[in-house]
């Protein structure tokens, strides 16, 4: 009877070890999602880039305002004199064309700069999400952006706030 108990305990111990090994090897894949709009909006890098773009736009607008002021002043002086030489009219038209060209150039550059910043921000968010996912054992982190790709998810799987905190901490480390 003593051997039967030993065999039984041995079998139970083997069964328990096998079960634990199965659970350890099985590792259920973790899936979570983030609200991309909120992550993007709350990202410090996005706020920094927005400030930079605003500063650039203001400097460009100041230059345009100055050019426009000089054009208006020149126009008033020409009107006050009444008679204008063809050279004066040609110079005024050249200045007006330069103003219009600069205005269009700045509009294109502002648009391109904004697109470049958005691309840099998206790339950085993706980089941080990959790192966060690996460090925290996620198989998938889905992005909920209202496009209909993610139609439903349990709120318990929403990791938006921890992600916002994480990416802002990582960005601050990089800035130093």
3-state secondary structure 45-60: HHHHHHHHHHHHHHHH
Instruction: List the chain domain ranges.
Output: 2-175
DSSP state letters, 118-134: HHHHHHHHHHHHHHHHH
pLDDT at 20: 47
The pLDDT of residue 121 is 94
What CATH superfamily is the domain 2-175?
Skp domain (3.30.910.20)
From first to last of its 176 residues, the chain has per-residue pLDDT tens of 566 666 665 555 555 555 545 545 556 678 888 888 899 999 999 999 999 999 999 999 999 999 999 999 998 888 888 777 888 889 999 999 999 999 999 999 999 999 999 999 999 999 999 899 888 888 888 888 766 566 567 778 888 899 899 999 999 998 87
Distance CA 100, CA 56 (A): 19
Report the pLDDT value the prediction gives residue 45, as an integer from 0 to 100: 94
Radius of gyration of the chain (CA): 32
∠ CA 99-102-105, nearest 5°, is 150
| pLDDT at res. 43 | 94
Say if CB 125 and CB 167 are below 8 A apart.
yes
What is the per-residue pLDDT for 84? 78
The two three-digit tokens of residue 163, written as one number: 């992600």
DSSP sequence for 70-115: HHHHHHHHHHHH----HHHHHHHHHHHHHHHHHHHHHHHHHHHHHH
What local confidence, expressed as pLDDT, does residue 10 receive? 57
Pair 141, 129: CB distance under 8 Å: yes
């Amino acid at each position: 009877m003593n051997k039967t108990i030993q065999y039984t305990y041995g079998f139970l111990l083997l069964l328990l070890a096998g079960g634990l090994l199965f659970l350890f090897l099985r590792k259920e894949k973790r899936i979570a999602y983030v609200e991309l709009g909120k992550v993007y909006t709350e990202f410090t890098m996005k706020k920094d880039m927005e400030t930079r773009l605003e500063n650039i736009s203001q400097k460009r607008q100041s230059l345009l305002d100055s050019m426009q002021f000089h054009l208006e002043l020149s126009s008033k002086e020409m009107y006050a004199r009444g008679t204008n030489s063809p050279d004066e009219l040609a110079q005024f038209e050249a200045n007006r064309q330069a103003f219009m060209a600069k205005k269009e150039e700045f509009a294109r550059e502002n648009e391109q700069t904004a697109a470049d910043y958005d691309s840099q921000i998206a790339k950085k968010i993706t980089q941080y999400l990959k790192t966060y996912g690996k460090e925290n054992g996620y198989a998938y982190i889905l992005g909920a952006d209202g496009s209909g790709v993610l139609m439903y998810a349990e709120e318990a799987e929403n990791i938006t706030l921890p992600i916002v905190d994480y990416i802002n901490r990582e960005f601050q480390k990089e800035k130093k």
